[in-house]
Each structure stands twice: as structure tokens, then as C-alpha cells.
Amino acid sequence: MTVLDQIAAAVGADRILTGADAAAYGKDWTGAYTSTPLAVLRPANTAEVSAILKIANATKTPVVPASGRTGLTGATLADDALMLSVERLNDITEINTAGRTATVGAGVILSDLHDAAQEHDLIFPLTLGARGSAMIGGLLSTNAGGSNVVRYGSTRGLCLGLEVVMADGRIMNLMSALHKDNSGLDLRNLVIGAEGTLGIITAAVLKLQPKPQAYATAMVAVPSLPDALELLHKLQDETGGGVEAFEYMPRSYIDKHKELFPGVAGPFDKTYDVNIMIEIAATQAKDAIPNEDGSLSVVDALENTLGAMLDAGTVLDAVIAQNDTQRRQIWKRREDAGEVAFFGGVFVNTDVAVPLDKVAAFEKALTPRIKAIDPNADEVIVAHLGDGNIHHTSYVSRNDPGVMDALVEAVEDVVQELGGSFSAEHGIGVSKLETMKRRKDPVALDAMRAIKAALDPNNILNPGKVIPDA
């Protein structure tokens, strides 16, 4: 029997897609990474995932887990491998309002979880542009970040428990709703961010938060990034940490957005170099009660801070959303970042993190190095300024692999000089393997290889991703 015959006998032939039925799964959202899986497997429950991995491990057949395939690093390339899609593991088993947790399958789409929590006046605070297709399993496997990290943390910080199927098919039950569990090694956090190389996540217990009662959302222009940080710190102090999003969109991003979406107006009547999207959320019911003039206190607080900084010259311009339609327009400009970065010709895209006060230094140091490599290159940056995560794209003047590699190394050099990380929220996949070889501490790499060998001795789980060969 072939491996597919064995899997069909174990879980049913209707769980297997091949040929034309499987073709769409061989392409990710970017279109940059394409592959031809041996087959696409669509198990309906954890027991079926376990049965598949037992067979794959016994036959030493590679298995590549996949969720919404909205990643940017080629982590779901599956040539000559079985692609295991978690899309049918899509049950929202429980919304626990008292414990403020959600128990969900790995195939639950992020926006569906948002809707389910909303029905109970709660939120799952992770949000990103791909929320309508990204699935919980993939978000956990990449430790996704998004725009609300400044208040709620990344996906790892929002997860309490996991169910994981190991390489040999055994099911590891870590499905705890505990906020404290000091019973040995933290295997949950080891699996989160491992991109399916240590086990396949099939379910999770996630933290929910109270639904904000009111928002204050604005676009603000400031003279410099240090002025932006001053604004961030003032707003955090005055709102008790109520800033949910603090997003940096420089002139280059606004110009590129106008080019891609010519019918969309810019954020201001004038054009500025440093543009910040701010959202503050208030969770107390009193904050949703209008004042006598119809205003909300959270909006008043933002207006007062911006007004004082306008008088001081540390804010140049500001537009505050007056209704939800305007709020969504402000958010859409930021959430269009994927289209802005990935559909502008030949480019090099990086996802890095530096300390909050080093973002300006990153820009200043990087631009001349890029121009020295490719004088005709253009740059676009968009950043989660509240947590120091920068998405930098270089649009090169020619499709030259040597130039593109040099640009990547230039970014790496600056990040390393500033004490940053070459990977902030998109994961490693295949696109950053060479960077891992160059920049990751060699002892840390040896530790990763040892853990991988111990948990997956036959190297069947997403081989060739995340951890470079020695």
C-alpha cells in the first residue's frame, strides 16, 4: 500500500485531495512561494491528525501543516510532502464568559473568533489585515503580532493552553485555562512560534478581554519620530495604558498608498513626513456615555493632548474620527500595507524589531547603505511604532539576486548594530534561513537542532523550515 492508501484506509479517502483539487493549496497569498504537494489532507478531528502522523512517521513521509496560507515567508512550501490543512478543525467549542477564555480548533478563522467573542461583549484582541482568512493554528505557529501588540501582546501572550499532535502521532494535552502553571518546562510556548516543526497544533485555549466601550482614533502628523514617542508616552500615562494601536506611516508609505489606491484621499490636506495612526480604547461603561456636548471622554482626552502638543509645535496636524465609518477608513489605510509592500515590482521585504527609541536611528542608518548598493532603489516603511516592529521594503531597480541579498544583509547589519531582531512577527519559514545562519547565536541554533531531533527524529514535520542545517 502507498502512504496515501494507508491514510485513506485510516481516515477515509474523502480526506485526501490530489491533482487539480489540490492545486490551489500549493500557492500562498504572496504568490512568491509555490509548490506541488503529494496530496492535501483535510482531517476533521484530532484523532485523524494523529492517525495521519503515525503513518507519515512510520513511512518517513514529510508533513507540512497549513492554515490560511497567509504567511509571508514560504513556511507552507510542500514539494514532495503531504500538506495537512487544519481548515476543518474549525469548531469554537466554548466561549467561557466567567473565565474569559475561548476554546477553539486550529482551523478557526480569526474574524470568526472576533464575531463569537463579540456576541458576549468580549474581544479576542489579536487583529491584522488577513483576519478574514488567517486561522488560529497558523497565528499560533508564527506567534503573530498585529496592530494591538502595544496593549495586549503577541499571540503567545494570548494563549493559555494547547493541544498538539507530535511527530509520532501521540497527542500532547496542554489544554489548560490556567494563568499560572509552573509544572516543568514550558512546552506550550516552545510549540508556539515553531511553525509546525515540533508538532501540529490542533486546538487552543485563548484569553479574551472586555470589549472596549468607546474608541478614539486619529491620524496625527508630527515633526519627528522622537515627537511621536513623546506623544505615545503621554497618551499611555493619561489613559492608564489605553493605547491599543500606534502605527507609523511615513511619507513614502502614504505616497505608495495613493499610487496603489488613486481614489483614496490622503490623511491630511497637506503632506507630512511622519504620520501616526492612533487608537485608544476605553473599557469602562462611563466612557461610552456622551457628555453634554455629545463628545466622549476618551475622545476629549485625545483632543486635549493633541491640542497641547499642537500649541507646543510637537504635533503638526491631526484628524480625529467622528464616527465608525471614519474610524474604518483610518484603519483601512494601515491594513492595506500588504498590498502596498508586495505588489510594487521587484522588492526585498523585511520584518524587524528594534528598541522603541531606535526606529529613527534605523531609518537614518539604513537609507545611505541601500543607496550605496542600488542608487535607484526606493524604500517604503510601515511600523508598529508602539512595539518597535518595522516592516521595511526596498524596491530594487533590477532583478539581481546579488543586489537583493546585499540589501537583506544591510538591513541585518543595522538591526544588529541597534540591538534588534531580524524577525519580529512573520516567522522564519524558508525566506530567513540564511539570515538565521548568519545572525542567530550558534549555541542557540545547536539547542534548536537538538530539540528538533529529540521531538521529530525522522524530520517529518515541516522539514527545511525555521532551523537551518548545521
- CB atoms under 10 Å from CB of 462, counted, come to 28
In the chain, CATH 3.30.70.2740 sits at 344-436
Please, where are the H alpha helices in 290-400?
Answer: 297-312, 324-335, 337-342, 359-373
Is the model's pLDDT at 196 over the cut of 80?
A: yes
How do residues 329-350 score in pLDDT, each as one tens digit? Answer: 999 999 999 888 877 678 999 9
Domain 3-85 carries which CATH code? 3.30.43.10
Contact 314, 223 (CB under 8 A): yes
CATH T-level assignment (fold) for domain 344-436:
Alpha-Beta Plaits (3.30.70)
How do residues 4-29 score in pLDDT, each as one tens digit? Answer: 999 999 999 999 999 999 999 999 88
**Does domain 92-210 match CATH 3.30.465.10?**
yes
Q: Across residues 196-200, what is the average pLDDT?
A: 98
Contact 160, 205 (CB under 8 A): yes
Average pLDDT over the chain reads 95
**Does domain 214-335 match CATH 3.60.15.10?**
no
62, 137, 420 from 89: Cα distances, Å: 21, 9, 36
How do residues 207-241 score in pLDDT, each as one tens digit? Answer: 999 999 999 999 999 999 999 999 999 999 999 99
In the chain, CATH 3.30.43.10 sits at 3-85
Integer-rounded Cα radius of gyration of the chain: 23
Q: What is residue 356's DSSP assignment?
A: G
In the chain, CATH 3.30.465.10 sits at 92-210
Contact 253, 381 (CB under 8 A): yes
For residues 82 and 15, give the distance between their C-alpha atoms in angstroms, rounded to a whole number: 12
Contact 230, 308 (CB under 8 A): no
How do residues 302-324 score in pLDDT, each as one tens digit? Answer: 999 999 999 999 999 999 999 99
pLDDT of residue 156: 97
The pTM score is: 0.94
Please, where are the H alpha helices in 96-193?
Answer: 110-118, 136-141, 149-152, 187-191
Sheet containing 171-174, strands listed edge to edge, beginning at the edge strand earlier in sequence:
92-96, 101-105, 200-207, 159-165, 171-174
Contact 425, 130 (CB under 8 A): no
